Structure 1
């Protein structure tokens, strides 16, 4: 567990270019422009209705009350009430539509990120912490909720209100308008400073949240708990998590307090502006300036307050947008991840798959750099035939198996299925063609039946039972309290290693692939369990092209061909008997296993 480890992928240098980023954010709303247009109409109508109220107030104070015109007074009062009702109705409708649009945008983002990650190669996940991935989808996109659900509406609403209010203020008295607007540029400058500061802190906060998520994912998984308890590290892990949480506390406080004093000063100044207007109007009258009616002053102050509310909201929205740019940048980093395993524009689709697998002068290097993991591999596995690959740890055995289903792509040469380069096949054909049973069996926290149906969602109960029987696991499942409806527990920890392997084999039998990759499928099992699982593997392998990767040799003696890998190269090849007679590396490995079994 490495909470301080930096993310393994760094964004491109131009990831923080604001204009490009803003355009990209706006493009997220493009599919919903029709609904946003309705929101714009509602906002405009709401702003016009709100601006009308001060003019009604001016007529009330300057005409209806002084002249005793009761009918006009009633109409004006009714107009004010109607204005409030319409403004509220418009506000509710625009909130409903804008929230719906915002949630749809968040849904689109979550789906896009998840879909992008599903297309990444195995190499990405071997170098990226699971908690980091989860944090991008949960914390970062979740943190943008307020921005995508309300910011667009808030910007349009407040901008419309500001423009309409300034026009109305000029219509009432242009001199008082100039006095009111003198400090606005200063306020804008302050808000931009605050926004930049919060954006920087938000980036640090989200990185810290990702680190915490990774720590929780690793240390509170079943495997993490087992390791922590057995190593006596529970207290130290708690202390480490406490330190991570403490750092987050500091960042949260800094984020919330960034610019608070400056924004407080702005609020105080804006609250004092009505007094300035009263003082200006009174001073102008004393100095012999043009007379301003009481109704005009009251209406103007009302408009001014109506101006400052959306103006402050605009400034706050600007700060929020700058803060959210940090979150969007993190999401866009994942959306911009280069996909190194892609499907051709016009891929080959095979309806019938015989299952011949061929490696032709195959070379592989991780990330295309460093020394070759595999070099000059030439192998043929006929349809229905079997090939066993053995060798010491690090010889490149598992990597060779990963090339067939395109978990990695070769960096030289090619791998073919029925004579077609696997890179030219469509993903559907490849998924139907190749099944993998690995040493580490992954089971979802779901029922046994749901785990099996992951291979074939429409499998009948009879097909489930048939596959389980072939895998030698049906009787055990049937004896469980809930049978096939029994929940296996996270990562299948309610089952033993051998039982999980047989469940994985049953799942692969349901998939019914013509090509089978067995990657150290029994290496973690004891001899007795291995024998039971091997029966299931034999049933699974019958009639299929089988590539068996093994560290222990007891399961590969019957293979049509055995290949010994050494430092990524084929050192020996032949049948079990032929290789024994050569007395080379394979014979040495057999003697090693014999010694280990005698000691056991």
Structure 2
């Protein structure tokens, strides 16, 4: 929790002012019973109207001061808590941006979303309530005990008889509450994950009529959340009745022995009224303890979950700024005996991969599903680190290139086309922020999407829905390609990025890309695409099955020849027309 609450330090002065104002409120509340006792003993019992009016006026003035202090306290408490939440949320998001792809596998997306939303809000609310009422409640109890001893030490003893028991009881409840509410937040993660998956696959759910199944699945995880929340709240609900029971017993003891003290002239009526007033204030404060403990337990659990993210040291992307290096110029790529396994996975995905791509060449990467094609592509921009072997770009190991320089030279088009909410113009400029309109349009023309964009009513200002929901698959792919081309990269990585394009559009696209000077690695399943490459890399179960030009592989590789023949058969109509 220290890491999370270290973000409070910049707001120490607003917090100090809020606490000072809260102490003024508290002081007024603690002094009031003394004034009431004086009005009773020196005013009402002696019939002195001047005492009643004088001290009554003092009480009114103090109440007004408490009111102003409370209102101003809320302002500073809100400022401190909201600013603290902003800083923590920003720090979490910045930390997540530094995660390597391997680190992301340790933190499910739904869990990260919960940490940046629900968990931050939980801690923010506790900070605000602490400055407003949470600290006030225990201080009111402590202050009431002290003031009660000042008024009458004998009667005050009966207020603190149950204190040791209450302290032990509250400690146990806080400990249990933290563990229970940590589990509740985990359950909330799972609910968010199921909800996220369902919303992302809503078309598939409808197409396969799986709405009932998905509702059932959501009910199961939601029911687990409900049960654990009820269990946690049930534990917390035990606190208030027990606290009130102990305090009511103490209050009865004060009244019983206080009456005997008045009868024997060892105490005044005003003193008994003051002690009872303090007891009532303590009871009111204790009634807030259940809420305070529950909020604190949830906040502690949330803070620990956020700290898990903030304290990640390994698996972060950091640039080595120790040496100034020239940027990538040629884009030459060399794989030498590269083997790679995913974290916590013993079986290698790629084994002993060696090949090279010269500047400006195009390499087609082929293979069955799961052969390791996409994984190979992800090793070049260092989304993952190789297990053994080396990858060099322009003769230097990718580990020795600063990440910003390495990735600035790469244009990546992922297998799944991802677009962001915003205009088409903004999505294209995402590839190069400072790009001019002419540059964006030129990239769109190369990607064969310019004419389609021009047909939209608002052209490049057309709004793209979430993940490009209002665009076809082919349009999304071509926009993704245009976004990469805007960068004018030295290395262009296309991960099966033309699967949704028709033959004519794809042919035009490759014709335009052939004019690019970039080194290209293209994951494809199409032989006609491989034909246009300088060389073809055929993968089979993570190993190189064949490597060479299209013609060389046709002559030397049985597997490649089988793929080529199967695709030729698919392209030939099964029932040829009779020409006789």
CA contact (8 A) 2:409 2:491 kept: yes
Partner residue of 2:487?
A: 511
Displacement of 1:39:
2.3
Instruction: Report matched runs for 1:39-54 at 5 Å.
Output: 39-54=18-33
Q: SS where residue 258 of structure 1 aligns?
A: helix
Partner residue of 1:77?
A: 56
Compare 210-219 and 104-113 and name the one that shifted more.
104-113
- Inter-CA distance 393–243: structure 2 relative to 1 (3 Å threshold): closer
1:295 aligned to 2:270? Answer: yes
Consecutive unaligned residues in structure 2, runs of 5 or more: 575-580
Deviations 1:508-555 (A, max 9, x none): 12222211111112235453453344345445xx11111222222211
- Inter-CA distance 177–229: structure 2 relative to 1 (3 Å threshold): same
CA contact (8 A) 2:3 2:307 kept: no
Partner residue of 2:167?
A: 188
Q: SS where residue 337 of structure 2 aligns?
A: strand
Instruction: Report matched runs for 1:90-239 at 5 Å.
Output: 90-125=69-104, 129-151=108-130, 153-221=132-200, 224-239=201-216
Q: SS where residue 538 of structure 2 aligns?
A: strand
CA contact (8 A) 1:191 1:319 kept: no
Q: SS where residue 167 of structure 1 aligns?
A: helix
Displacement of 1:406:
1.0
Instruction: Report matched runs for 1:253-292 at 5 Å.
Output: 253-271=230-248, 273-286=250-263, 288=264, 291-292=266-267
- Inter-CA distance 109–54: structure 2 relative to 1 (3 Å threshold): same
TM-score norm. by structure 2 comes to 0.90
CA contact (8 A) 2:239 2:290 kept: no
Deviations 1:340-367 (A, max 9, x none): 2532543555454212222233221111
Compare 102-111 and 189-198 and name the one that shifted more.
189-198
CA contact (8 A) 2:145 2:160 kept: no
Partner residue of 2:420?
A: 444
Displacement of 1:299:
2.0
Compare 255-264 and 45-54 and name the one that shifted more.
255-264
Deviations 1:331-389 (A, max 9, x none): 22333445425325435554542122222332211116423222333332222232222
1:548 aligned to 2:536? Answer: no
Partner residue of 1:403?
A: 379
Q: SS where residue 395 of structure 1 aligns?
A: coil
Once residues 252 and 318 of structure 1 are traced to their aligned partners in structure 2, the CA distance between those partners, rounded to angstroms, is 15
Which of 226, 241, 254 is the equivalent residue of 2:218? Answer: 241
Once residues 313 and 503 of structure 1 are traced to their aligned partners in structure 2, the CA distance between those partners, rounded to angstroms, is 57
Q: SS where residue 55 of structure 1 aligns?
A: helix
Once residues 218 and 338 of structure 2 are traced to their aligned partners in structure 1, the CA distance between those partners, rounded to angstroms, is 45
Once residues 566 and 367 of structure 2 are traced to their aligned partners in structure 1, the CA distance between those partners, rounded to angstroms, is 12
Partner residue of 2:456?
A: 480
Once residues 185 and 311 of structure 2 are traced to their aligned partners in structure 1, the CA distance between those partners, rounded to angstroms, is 19
TM-score norm. by structure 1 comes to 0.87
Once residues 5 and 133 of structure 2 are traced to their aligned partners in structure 1, the CA distance between those partners, rounded to angstroms, is 14
Which of 450, 453, 468 is the equivalent residue of 1:492? Answer: 468
CA contact (8 A) 1:348 1:425 kept: no
Once residues 524 and 316 of structure 2 are traced to their aligned partners in structure 1, the CA distance between those partners, rounded to angstroms, is 27
CA contact (8 A) 1:99 1:150 kept: no
Q: SS where residue 182 of structure 1 aligns?
A: coil
CA contact (8 A) 1:353 1:514 kept: yes
CA contact (8 A) 2:446 2:509 kept: no
Once residues 114 and 530 of structure 1 are traced to their aligned partners in structure 2, the CA distance between those partners, rounded to angstroms, is 38
CA contact (8 A) 1:51 1:165 kept: yes
Once residues 599 and 370 of structure 1 are traced to their aligned partners in structure 2, the CA distance between those partners, rounded to angstroms, is 45
Displacement of 1:105:
2.4
Once residues 64 and 536 of structure 1 are traced to their aligned partners in structure 2, the CA distance between those partners, rounded to angstroms, is 99
- Inter-CA distance 182–235: structure 2 relative to 1 (3 Å threshold): same
Once residues 350 and 212 of structure 2 are traced to their aligned partners in structure 1, the CA distance between those partners, rounded to angstroms, is 44
CA contact (8 A) 2:439 2:486 kept: yes
Q: SS where residue 366 of structure 2 aligns?
A: strand
Instruction: Report matched runs for 1:302-381 at 5 Å.
Output: 302-314=277-289, 316-337=291-312, 339-346=314-321, 348=323, 350-354=325-329, 355-367=331-343, 369-381=345-357
CA contact (8 A) 2:553 2:561 kept: yes
CA contact (8 A) 2:536 2:550 kept: yes
Displacement of 1:169:
1.6
- Inter-CA distance 245–599: structure 2 relative to 1 (3 Å threshold): farther
Deviations 1:280-336 (A, max 9, x none): 1112345x4x52111222222222323333344356423432233222232223334
Once residues 415 and 485 of structure 2 are traced to their aligned partners in structure 1, the CA distance between those partners, rounded to angstroms, is 17
Which of 562, 568, 577 is the equivalent residue of 1:594? Answer: 568
Once residues 466 and 371 of structure 1 are traced to their aligned partners in structure 2, the CA distance between those partners, rounded to angstroms, is 44
Once residues 112 and 357 of structure 1 are traced to their aligned partners in structure 2, the CA distance between those partners, rounded to angstroms, is 36
CA contact (8 A) 2:421 2:463 kept: yes
Once residues 308 and 435 of structure 1 are traced to their aligned partners in structure 2, the CA distance between those partners, rounded to angstroms, is 67
Deviations 1:441-474 (A, max 9, x none): 1112322122112222343333332222222211
Which of 572, 585, 588 is the equivalent residue of 2:546? Answer: 572
CA contact (8 A) 1:505 1:537 kept: no
* Alignment length (residue pairs): 573
Once residues 84 and 536 of structure 1 are traced to their aligned partners in structure 2, the CA distance between those partners, rounded to angstroms, is 79
Once residues 63 and 127 of structure 1 are traced to their aligned partners in structure 2, the CA distance between those partners, rounded to angstroms, is 71
CA contact (8 A) 2:414 2:497 kept: yes
Partner residue of 1:8?
A: none
CA contact (8 A) 1:445 1:492 kept: yes
Displacement of 1:110:
2.1
- Inter-CA distance 330–378: structure 2 relative to 1 (3 Å threshold): same
Partner residue of 1:466?
A: 442
CA contact (8 A) 2:262 2:268 kept: no
Give the aligned CA root-mean-square deviation in angstroms. 2.7
